[in-house]
Amino acid sequence: MAILIDVDRKHILIKYMSDISVRRETTGLLKADLIAAINSIDAWIDSNVVAFNSAISQPARLTLTAKQKAELLMLIVSKRWEVA
């Protein structure tokens, strides 16, 4: 899995800013700070994708596609922090 291209990171920034605006939340961060956070999170994912895959029990590790594994991860993370 490759890191995201700048256009994709910009789309994430725009969506995140829109989402927090709808919820009437503030972060106290500058746009550059949010971009840095997106970049570092993306880099962390890239660095830890092998560990994530290794943590999945068999036979799911061999049977699920990378996209299916990512979907499960997103659902679990969203539930843990109640993010919709």
Domains of the chain, residue spans: 6-80
For residue 27, which of 40, 39, 38 has the smallest C-alpha distance?
38
pTM: 0.84
Q: Looking at residue 24, what DSSP letter applies? A: T
The residue behind tokens 């910009």 is 10
Neighbouring CB atoms inside 10 A of 27's CB total 11
Q: What is the DSSP letter of 4?
A: P
User: What pLDDT digit, counting tens, does each position of 25-72 carry?
Assistant: 999 999 999 999 999 999 999 999 999 999 999 999 999 999 999 999
pLDDT at 9: 96
Cα dist from 20 to 16, 23, 38, 71, whole Å: 6, 5, 15, 22
Residue 2 has a pLDDT of 76
